[in-house]
Amino acid sequence: MTLTGLGNKLLRRVGLTTSAESVQPGTTPKTNGVEQGGAVGNVAGTVELPTVEDAHLRALGIDKTRKEGPAELGHSRILDVLGADRFAPVKAVQVDGKVAWFNFALARELGFAVEGDAMTPELHQRILQALAYRALAPGEDAGGKNVVELYADRYGGTGIGNNEGAGRAAFLPWGNLNIKGVGRTSLAKITEAQDFHHAHGGAPMREGLIEAAWGEVGSNLFSRGSSRILAIIDTGDFTQWQNGSKEKRALIVRASHQLRPAHVLKGYDQGGDFSERVFVSMAKELGMLVEKPGKAGAEPDLPATMKKLIGQHARTQAEQQRWRIVHGAISTGNMQIDGAQLDLATMSTQPRTADIKTIKQGGSFFGEIDERASELARLYGALRSSLGKDAAKRAPPIDVGAELASAYKRELTRQMVDATGLKPSMGEVLLSEQPAACERLSKAVQSLARMGNGGDLLADKRVVDDAVVDVFNALRGYPSLLLEGEAPREARVAKVLELLRPNVLGSTQKKEQTLAKVQQLAVELVDALDAVYAAAAAKLDGHYDSKEAMQRSIAQRAAFENEPIEALYKAPAHELFDRVVDEFGRTGDAKLLTEAIDKLAASSVRSFEALLELGGKGAIEGGIEIERRTIDGIDHAVRAFDDGKRRVHLSMPLTGDEASGFVLATLPGAPRLSKADVEAMRYRFTVDGWQTTQEVQARLGVDEHGRPAITFDIPVIKGAAGRLEGVFHVEAGQGFWIKDGASNFRGYTFAVPDKQEAAALAKGLAG
């Protein structure tokens, strides 16, 4: 099975083209991997950098044609993109430890040879050899253990004190993998007295859990994606806090291109000799470089490139608004230069749209765009400062704040139109042909969203639910009216008012005034929504199978995508992760982390489009199979047949035979069942969080590889989306078998394509 993560189609949709770009400066000669007791890895400066054509690999920052290291992962592109002078070498030694969490799907995407998702002793050893390294102290003897050269990246900007870049993290030469908590690097200048947390060189394990969960969710929610965690490795180390308490540390192995605005900077806001080269190189690497004709051929158009990058950040910021997310600690280094998310430990979702912060000194839900503008302005300022007297000509001033605000307004309108439940393809049409209707809708949603009650909005230790109305609940529930037939406008407004669930605080007079405003804005929202839906109905050909199908699709998407992401409210999520780390510390049970991270991530994905593209896909007899993902040894997929049928398909490979019994080899404990047991097996499942359950009977069949398998087919309707959780059980023969334990509930989040979407997916497979 091939897992492709964020699909190429989706990447193309957001502007990450797969076409070849201009050549890169700098490359790395192929290294030979780890040698016993020796040092390997190298970074060179100015050799021509071949372009990576696959957009997904570019997002991961790896060159698969150049295998390196014990796991033969692709070469780390960041080393070449930034160039040797932008790294400080870190001699590191392999350490023993326990893989507390491993991202099997990401490992496969990176080219790690992993079958299934079971941790075997052999795999555990391979992971440690490939990923578990810590910095050697000056003069420290490696004791005959594997030694590699890691690379700490140099950067400047805000939020790093007087550090000169990565003070506790460094890149492996392979996989573009960054080990956080590697130890204090030579770029760490901050002292423990100044900032103990960032000075000791370690990373708390809890941060790994938070980043792991958010990485998976961010990859689903954001067009530009997010950094992701490949592994959390427990080396038995602790941070001893000054108050005497201990905090468990880990090596946190992070993937993605990890190219930051901060890489262009030196110090707080200055550029250097390297700044233009690095800026251009990063933009080229990510398909964002704009060129213009020059005297000696095409040359970088620096302001146009900057504006393109600003556009991507505007989209990310608008997507945050749409999913009700605050980053919390935007800085030059806490974001990737193309708007992809990075450094996720302060992120939070929220129930409504209060102007929350997650740390006191951070940006707020509505105010974070200003932080982003400020950091991007710092980037461009540093670039300009590096150009000296050429700056006025080659990089004339840009009003970054105005550019971002303008792009943000456009992107926000796009996001609000998508939040109505319309397909993005239809949204594009409406944005182009009915811009006034779309802008009116966006304005109506924003006016309601921004109604606040004031008060303490710090959502660090508690869930803040103080917005006056729940506007996304209105977007979530309103389309169901479309399915119930024509209702008078008065009834529609009443319905929206009910869905808005006003929560008004203050004096009686203030309450009356606020409720009157809510009433007025509810009318506006109804009219704006009706106008958008009517415009869509007039243009449905090519987007939906029929008017009825469009109404169902809108209702299903709006209900799925606008559901609050409860599991990622910062306060309870961090409490959960603290408990899990404590329990892991006591028991050493890695399953605890898997349960917490994977379950939380599965319940938090919301983007229908991204789900359609997530996981492996292939042709099957009479249709296609998409969204293939293996969870706890059980293969899941969505099947779309040419005759219109849709099934969620589950499969567990079987070994053995009728005489000796069948073995479910991919399940924990490899249970052995008789043929009668297999045939009597049932799957009790839910797609609504266990409010209701259904059951489906097992069948003996074959899996996608042609191997014998137990299969289950759950009929689903086109346009549906949900999260499947369930329990397998058998009540036959002598006894009762159940695949129990919380692992049943890790969940498979799916989206079901309609006819148009299935045809497009099939076309993509054929092409």
Partner 1 sequence: MSGKPTPAAALDAILDLTAGQLALLADAAKRPDVDLGGVARTSFDLLLKGIKANVAPLTKDPAVPAETRARIERVVGAVEAWERSTVALGHHLIAVAEGWQCRSCGGDVARTAAVSGVALGKSLIKLELVCAECGARSAPTPKGRKVFEEKFGHLVVAGWNPEANGFQWDRR
Instruction: Point out which residues bind partner 1 (CB under 8 A).
Output: 548, 552, 566-567, 569, 572, 576, 595, 599, 603, 644-646, 661, 672-674, 677, 684, 686, 688-697, 714-718, 727, 729-731, 733-738, 740-742, 744-745
Task: Provide, rounded to whole angstroms, the least separation between the CB of residue 630 and partner 1.
Answer: 21
Distance (Å) of CA 52 to CA 22, 59, 64, 290: 11, 10, 9, 18
CA distance 340 to 687: 30
Measured from the CB atom, the residue of 91 and 682 that comes closer to partner 1 is 682
**Beta bridge mates, 148:** 92
Task: Provide, rounded to whole angstroms, the least separation between the CB of residue 352 and partner 1.
Answer: 15
CA distance 131 to 588: 20
Question: By 3-state DSSP, what share of the chain in percent is helix, strand and coil, each rounded to 5?
Answer: 40, 20, 40
Task: Provide, rounded to whole angstroms, the least separation between the CB of residue 548 and partner 1.
Answer: 7
Task: Provide, rounded to whole angstroms, the least separation between the CB of residue 158 and partner 1.
Answer: 34
Contact 447, 416 (CB under 8 A): no
Tokens of 554: 């809108």
Task: Provide, rounded to whole angstroms, the least separation between the CB of residue 134 and partner 1.
Answer: 33
Measured from the CB atom, the residue of 48 and 688 that comes closer to partner 1 is 688
CA distance 257 to 58: 7
Contact 646, 716 (CB under 8 A): yes
> DSSP string covering 633-701, please?
TEEEEEEEETTS-EEEEEEEE-EEETTTEEE-TTSTT--EE-HHHHHH-EEEEESSTTSS-EEEE-EEE
Measured from the CB atom, the residue of 115 and 589 that comes closer to partner 1 is 589
Who contacts 691 (Cβ-Cβ below 8 Å, separation ≥6)?
none
Task: Provide, rounded to whole angstroms, the least separation between the CB of residue 756 and partner 1.
Answer: 16
Task: Provide, rounded to whole angstroms, the least separation between the CB of residue 734 and partner 1.
Answer: 5
DSSP H or E run through 134: strand 133-135
Measured from the CB atom, the residue of 478 and 577 that comes closer to partner 1 is 577
Measured from the CB atom, the residue of 143 and 485 that comes closer to partner 1 is 485
DSSP H or E run through 761: helix 755-766
Measured from the CB atom, the residue of 130 and 730 that comes closer to partner 1 is 730
Measured from the CB atom, the residue of 370 and 679 that comes closer to partner 1 is 679
Task: Provide, rounded to whole angstroms, the least separation between the CB of residue 13 and partner 1.
Answer: 28
Cβ count within 10 A of residue 483? 12
Measured from the CB atom, the residue of 284 and 746 that comes closer to partner 1 is 746
Measured from the CB atom, the residue of 22 and 697 that comes closer to partner 1 is 697
Task: Provide, rounded to whole angstroms, the least separation between the CB of residue 745 and partner 1.
Answer: 7
Helix axes 368-387, 275-285, angle to 10 degrees: 120
CA distance 609 to 98: 36
DSSP reduced 3-state for 540? coil
